[in-house]
Structure 1
C-alpha cells in the first residue's frame, strides 16, 4: 500500500504576485513623514497543494486509488484503462474509441443504456472518453450511491455484452461522430488527420484516434470481442474513487465487487517497442479540405515522451508561446493584425510526443507574411533567452490552472489519473508541477533550439479545396501494427 498524508486546503495554496507596487496617498508632506524602510524579503514561492491519496492493488492486478474529501456531498467513481488509440490493431484504427462506446452500453444485468438512468435519475452525471494513452469511464453522483456505481463498473469490466446489437449500433454512432466532429467542421481534418499524419513516422500515434470510415466498416463482431479479451481486465485498470466516503468502508466494497474478477482472457503486452527516429530534413505539405473559411499556415515537430527530462521545459515553452495575456504568438501575430488566431501545442504521451504551431489568417494573401513572422518568433525563442517576466507569467498560468483543477475531488482524481496513465506513476502530477516551477530561461531556450529546429519540421498549409488525403500524406510508408489473438 502507498499512502500520502498531505493535507489539502485552499488556504494552504499560496501564489506570490511578484513586484506588487506600494500604495501612497495623494500627497506626501516630506520625506520624514514616510514610514521607516522595511527589510526586503524574498517573495513566497509559487505552490499548489499536493494530491492526498491512498493506493493499493488487488491480487488480480486492479489498482485502487482513494481520494476522500469530506467537503463535498458527492462522489466520483472513475475507471481508467491503459488502453488508448495507440493500441488499435492493424487495419482497425479507432477501435479503442469504438470500445469506449461499447463498454458503456450493455451488460448481463444492465439493459442497453441503463447506466444513463442509474446516474441521471439521482441527479448525477456520467461519461467516458478515449485518448492516446487511455480510456476512462466516470460518474459523479450523491455520495450515498457509491456502491451502486461500483456495481456498474464491475458489470462493465466482467459482464459486458458485446453482441450484434451493441456492435452495429455503436459502430454507427462512432461513424456519425466522425462525420459531425471531424469531417463536417472546417478544421476537423487539420486537427485529427493532417497534424498526426505528419507528426509521427513509425509510431501508432500517427493514425487518427477516431479512426476512419473504411476501418470501421471493415471491422467485425469477432474483432470487437478479441479486442475486449486482449485488453480489458482488472490487470489493465485503475479504479479511482474521489469525494465523500470513508476509506475503511471503501476497501471491503472494492473487494466485494472486484476481487473475484479474473485477469484478461487473452492478454496482449501493452508495451510499444517502436520509437520515433529523428527527422533529418524538412518538408512541406499543402493540405486542402472542403468548407475551410480561412487559411492556416504552420508546422509540426517530433517531441519526446512525457517522462523525458526535457518535457517540463517544453511545456513551459508552450505556456510562453500561447498562454497568458502577454504570450509571444498573440503579441506578434494577432495584435499586429497579421492573423486572426495563433496556436501552439506540446502534446506528450507515454512513448512519444508532438509539437504544433499554426496561425489562421484572413485571406490567402496574408499567409506568407504570417508564416514569416511565426518563423521569426520561433527562431527568436530558439536563440534569445525569454525574460523573467515571461517565465513568471507562465508559472502563474500553470499554478492557477492547477489550483482550479485541485479545488474539487473530481478534479484531483482526473489530474492523478491522467498522470498515472501517461507515466505509470501516480505521483507524477506533483512531480511534473515541481519540475515546471524549476524550469529556467536557459532551459526554455535549450529545448526550443533542440526541438524547433527548422531542419526537422514539417511545414504545412491548410486551405479550401477538395478532400484529398494525398495532399498531406506522409511519404514514410505506414508501418504494419499489431494483430490480436482471436476471441
Structure 2
C-alpha cells in the first residue's frame, strides 16, 4: 500500500492486488449528513444525487453509462461523516475513471433543472423508505435524534420534505465549493494497478483542482449522558410492537472502544450472542435482534464523531416493553458484575477478525476501499487497517467489565417504544 498527498490536499491511497484484472476506485468527501446546514436537513443526501447529474465533459447520466459500457459496477452513499462514490471496473479502464472522477470534482453541472429534478427524487425516497413503510425510520432515524443533544448529531438527516424543497441553487453551488474539494477528499485505487502509473494519472487529472479556502467544521461533540431518555411513538403501518435502545459508545481508537466492539459481538451479533440466546431462544419474545455500532448505516470503523451502539427488535403484543428491558438489564448486569470467560472473549475476537477479513476480502474490494478511505480521511492513517488485529488481541476480561460498567450504565441509555395502529384522535377542543 502507498499513501500520498497532493499539494492541493488530496489524499491518495493505492493498494495493488494483481489477482484479478479489475480496479476499484473510491472518492470519499469529508461531508456527511451530520454537518449539513441547519434548516436544510437532507441537504448532504440531496447533493449525493447531484453528483450524478453531469459535469463539464460528461453529461447527465453519462458517468453511469461509462461504467456500464465497461462492464463495471458503481454506487454512492451519504453517511454520518462522508459522502462516497465508487466504481469497480476492468483495470484497463483505470485512467478513464480517474479522469471522470476528477471531472466531477473539478466542476458539476449544477443547474436549476437538475436541482429541481433531484429534489423530487430525494423526496420520493423519503416517502418510500420512511413515511410509507412500516417501521420506516425506526429506529435508525429516531434514536440519534433522541439520544443526542447537539443538533448536528440529533437532526433528521434523511430530510424534512419542506427543507428539501427549500434548497436553492446558490446554496447547492456554495456547498459544492466548500466541501467537494481535494483538501476534503480521499482517493483510493485498489486492484490490478501499478502505483507509479496511477500517481502519474492522479497528478495529471486531480493535481490542478484548487483546494477549498472555506473548509470549516462545527463542533460535533456530545456531553456525557447522565439520565436515561425514553420516548414512545405510534406507527399506523406497523403490524406489531417494537422496541429500540441505544448507548453512547467510547471515543474511537481508545482501548474502551475496541472493548465495546467486542461487547457488541458478544451481546448481539449471531445466534450465540447473549441477547439472542435470552430474547429469542429462551423467552421467545422475537425472532431476531438487530443492531451494532453505527448500525445500520455503516460499519464500526467508518465514522468520525460521537456514535451509538443501538439495537432493535419486533415483538408480540403479549409481552411488555418493561419485561424485555428487564431481561436486557439482566444480561448487561452480568457483564458488569462478572468477568467474561476466556472462551467467550476468544469467540468474540474471532468474530471481529472474521468480519474484518470478510470486509477486506469481498470480490469488488468495496470493503477494503471503505476502510482505507475512512482511516485516511479521519485519522490520516490508512495503515491502521494493519493494526486492528493487535488492538483486538489486547482486550482483556477486565477491560470488558470496566467498559460495560461505564458505557452500559442505565443513565447512558435511550429507549424508544413503538406501538402499532393508528395514532389516537386528538381530544376535542374545550367549548
Shorter-chain TM-score above 0.5: yes
| Structure 2 match to 1:334 | 280
Deviation at 1:364, TM superposition (A): 4.9
Distance 1:300 1:406, change over 3 A: closer
Deviation at 1:460, TM superposition (A): 2.0
Distance 2:386 2:152 in 1: 29
Distance 2:26 2:220 in 1: 30
Deviation at 1:211, TM superposition (A): 1.7
Pick one of 10, 13, 16 that aligns with 1:68: 16
Distance 1:410 1:235 in 2: 23
- Is the Cα contact below 8 Å between 2:255 and 2:391 reproduced in 1? no
- Is the Cα contact below 8 Å between 1:129 and 1:137 reproduced in 2? yes
For structure 1, which segment, 129-138 or 364-373, has the greater mean C-alpha deviation from structure 2 after superposition?
Answer: 364-373
**Does structure 1 residue 233 correspond to structure 2 residue 178?**
no
| Structure 2 match to 1:284 | 230
SS at match of 2:325: helix
**Does structure 1 residue 302 correspond to structure 2 residue 277?**
no
| Structure 2 match to 1:273 | 219
Deviation at 1:169, TM superposition (A): 1.1
SS at match of 2:138: helix
> In the TM superposition, what whole-angstrom CA distance separates every residue of 1:437-458 from its partner, at most 9, and x where no partner exists?
2211111111111011112322
| Structure 1 match to 2:62 | 114
Distance 1:91 1:445, change over 3 A: same
**Following TM superposition, where does structure 1 have runs of at least 4 consecutive aligned residues deviating by more than 6 angstroms?**
none
| Structure 1 match to 2:329 | 375
Deviation at 1:373, TM superposition (A): 1.1
Alignment of 1:118-157 (within 5 A): 118-157=66-105
Pick one of 216, 234, 248 that aligns with 2:196: 248
Distance 1:64 1:186 in 2: 42
Which one has the largest radius of gyration?
A: 1
Distance 1:305 1:466, change over 3 A: farther
| Structure 1 match to 2:418 | 462
Distance 1:192 1:211 in 2: 13
Pick one of 438, 447, 451 that aligns with 2:407: 451
| Structure 2 match to 1:10 | none
Aligned residues: 414
Structure 1 gap ranges (5+): 1-52, 469-487
**Does structure 1 residue 183 correspond to structure 2 residue 134?**
no
- Is the Cα contact below 8 Å between 1:321 and 1:344 reproduced in 2? no
Pick one of 299, 315, 322 that aligns with 1:361: 315
SS at match of 1:245: coil
Distance 1:384 1:423 in 2: 34
**Does structure 1 residue 81 correspond to structure 2 residue 29?**
yes
> In the TM superposition, what whole-angstrom CA distance separates every residue of 1:271-297 from its partner, at most 9, and x where no partner exists?
x32421122222321122221122112
Distance 1:454 1:410, change over 3 A: closer
- Is the Cα contact below 8 Å between 1:304 and 1:351 reproduced in 2? no
Distance 1:305 1:92, change over 3 A: farther
Deviation at 1:340, TM superposition (A): 2.4
Pick one of 112, 116, 123 that aligns with 1:164: 112
| Structure 2 match to 1:427 | 383
| Structure 2 match to 1:263 | 211
